[in-house]
Amino acid sequence: MSQTNYTEDSIRSLDWKEHIRMRPGMYIGKLGDGSSPDDGIYVLVKEVIDNCIDEHIMGYGKTIEIKITEHKTTIRDYGRGIPLGKVVDCVSKINTGGKYDSKVFQKSVGLNGVGTKAVNALSAHFKVQSTRDGQVKVAEFEKGELVNDAPVSETTSRNGTVISFIPDGEVFKNFHFRPEFLENLIWNYVYLNAGLTIKFNGEKYFSENGLHDMLTAKVNLEKVRYPIIHLKGVDIELAITHGEHYGEEYYSFVNGQYTTQGGTHLTAFKEGLVRTLRDFYKKDFDAADVRSAIVAAVSVRVQDPVFESQTKTKLGSLNMGPGSPTIRTFVNDFMKKSLDDFLHKNQAAADALLKRILQSEKERKDMAGIKKLANKRAKKANLHNKKLRDCKVHLNDKDGELLLNSTLFITEGDSASGSITKSRNVSTQAVFSLRGKPLNSFGLKKKVVYENEEFNLLQHALNIEDGIEGLRYNNIIIATDADVDGMHIRLLILTFFLQFFPEVVKNGHLYILETPLFRVRDKKQTFYCYSNEEKQAAIQKIGAKSEITRFKGLGEISPDEFGNFIGDEMRAEPVMLSKDNSIQEILKFYMGKNTPDRQRFIIDNLVLEQDLLSQD
């Protein structure tokens, strides 16, 4: 074994910006190119907006202005402004900020003094401007290095803080902001802060009724079993209804932070819901029956919240604050009084809710035998050896960055799954191989998931039989061939998730893998092209003697090449639903019986496809 000198010279101390740039995942989770809602560029945006929200909560500023172009972000609040003598320190010195003084910032999200420093260190250009009482201070940085420390000057501008930044392209490769993700982020802010106005790229976002408005936007009100129950108290707000869908759908928040992985507050809500309804109806319901088909939003405000990672996706706090009750007690007591009172005063809603619970109970009992048999079949099928090539990371690991990158590729056929299996990152990437085309599950009952071997094994691989809390992979990527059969298989898999596990899609876990359609090369250089436009550009660069290969099947791409397409530069298109989309209407149009509207859609788009083929 080679010997390495380990001396005092081996020890080095990194300054604040070096540490953030060397280990960005510790501060903002996964990096990504913006194709996922939890990619780092959105965390940068959030860190700045969170500071504006904290000012608003403290009673300073009712409007936030946000402008985001392809790469640049500018955010302005009308709060008090950073104290002018501390502007540079607040954005460039770790563990420096006003939020350590609980008298100034109560129940804030950003308590660790890192937020804007991470934004600064990970930006190619970062500018902060603070205005207080007729005076303004401006400072500019490049990759965390101060390049302009302007003196304080006079101004007529209103008080507040303006921060603009351009994420560093060396850290965030080929990044781009997706308007849909930004819009969802901003809607959450206004839902959680009724009365706040956010102006985003000229559009106004405002909510008068908080979480009630959120659920109104999230559900089809024609499909809910009873009108939305909206309950508000000191430091807590709830909105609840039940629908006809499968699974459970939750939106949980702490101090305005969207906790996508839940935490102690969401656990307390679920417990409080079951306990309250058991007491109200005087029946010992199974908890799964009470929660089946629920859609709920939960927001609490906690003093000095403790999150399980820097990205704040899961609350770990047990108490509401120093000297305050536990979160469990606080939420349970609130629901016991407020929800119980509501149901006593609204008999029609109470009757409809009871009917929904009894329906879920009957469905569960009818399914019991089928589920037991299906579980035996899954074990007998030796899932982890035949269908699933697993990765090393599971949700009980502590490395938040690896968990955020945990991925399952769903593919069809031995050659395609073989290429991905040989070229994947075994630490974070797993492969599930389908056998043939899946069943069209549109309009079918959930028992088909247990009766169909492929569906049953897939839900076991994902661990979503009882909801997505146990989801073993943060990213689920459908990887099918770039031909008609591949497109058909993709639609059938999408139908499976939308029909039976819509929360997988709604929570941003499902993607479509994009693989290159063409390879253009000569003896010196190779270009992989994802469109005809990219192909033509590559031909122009190489010249007329280029060799052009058209890829149609994943199995045609060698494992060595495939590693380029599922690594750091992987292109994966997120499956997204706008708030105007009805899942059942979408499935009915695309996967239901043929209709004149669908025939026209196919004909119109067939022309486009023929045009594309003519360019090959």
Q: Are residues 185 and 220 in the same domain?
A: no
Angle at the Cα of 301 (from 349 to 189), degrees rounded to 5? 80
Tell whether 3 is covered by a domain. no
Report the CATH number that the domain containing residue 358 is assigned in CATH.
3.30.230.10
Contact yes or no for 128/91 (Cβ under 8 A): yes
pLDDT number for residue 115? 82
Does 10 reside within a domain? Answer: no
Tell me, yes or no, whether 262 and 202 share the same domain. no
Whether 324 and 415 share a structural domain: no
User: How far is CA 555 from each of CA 444, 472, 515, 551, rounded to the nearest angstrom?
Assistant: 32, 26, 11, 9
Which has more confidence, 452 or 615? 452
Q: Across-strand partners of 550?
A: 518
Rounded to whole angstroms, the Cα distance separating 349 from 344 reads 9
pLDDT at 62: 93
- Among 366, 389, 406, the domain boundary falls at 366
Instruction: Say whether both 267 and 387 belong to one domain.
Output: no
For residue 100, what pLDDT is reported? 44
Give the residue from 244, 335, 357 showing the smallest Cα distance to 291.
357
Q: What is the pLDDT of residues 25-42, one digit of tens each?
A: 888 878 888 888 888 999
Residue 399, in any domain of the structure: yes
Domain stop point among 142, 173, 206? 206
Q: Which domain holds residue 23?
A: 16-206
376 in any annotated domain:
no
Is 4 inside any structural domain? no
Cβ neighbours of 167 (radius 10 Å): 24
Q: Where are the beta strands (DSSP E) in 228-293?
A: 229-233, 236-242, 249-254, 257-258
Last residue of a domain, one of 341, 366, 391: 366
Q: Are residues 114 and 51 in the same domain?
A: yes
Helix or strand holding residue 520 (H, E): strand 518-521
pLDDT band at 343 (very low <50, low <70, confident <90, very high): very high
Q: Is the pLDDT of residue 544 over 80?
A: no
Shared domain check, 234 and 185: no
Please check whether residues 362 and 391 belong to one and the same domain: no
| Residue 12 confidence (pLDDT) | 60
Are residue 200 and residue 222 in the same domain, yes or no?
no
Query: Is residue 612 assigned to a domain?
Result: no
**307 and 420 assigned to the same domain:** no
Q: Are 259 and 313 in contact (CB under 8 A)?
A: yes
Note if the pTM is more than 0.85.
no
Distance CA 243, CA 225 (A): 6
Predicted pLDDT at 95: 60
Return the higher-pLDDT residue of 34 and 615: 34
Distances (CA, A) of 610 to 207, 398, 519, 606: 46, 50, 21, 6
Instruction: Give the CATH number for residue 92.
Output: 3.30.565.10
Residues with Cβ within 8 Å of 516's Cβ and at least 6 positions away in sequence, in order, are 528, 529, 530, 551, 565
What are residue 546's phi and psi, to 5 degrees?
A: -70, 150
Total domains present in the chain: 3
Q: What is the pLDDT of residue 297?
A: 96
Question: Residue for token digits 């280029």?
Answer: 546
Quick one: 24 and 139 in the same domain?
Answer: yes
Q: Which of 119-133, 375-389, 487-501 has the lowest mean pLDDT?
A: 375-389
Q: Is residue 173 part of a domain?
A: yes
Q: Name the token pair of 51.
A: 């500071």
Report how far apart, in Å, the C-alpha atoms of 424 and of each of 16, 389, 435 are.
34, 10, 20
3-state secondary structure of 28: helix
The single-letter DSSP state of residue 324 is S
pLDDT band at residue 174, thresholds of 50, 70 and 90? Answer: confident
Number of Cβ within 10 Å of residue 578's Cβ equals 8
Domain-located, residue 8: no
The amino acid sitting at 20 is: I
Tell me which DSSP letter residue 494 carries: H
**Which has the higher per-residue pLDDT, 241 or 246?**
241
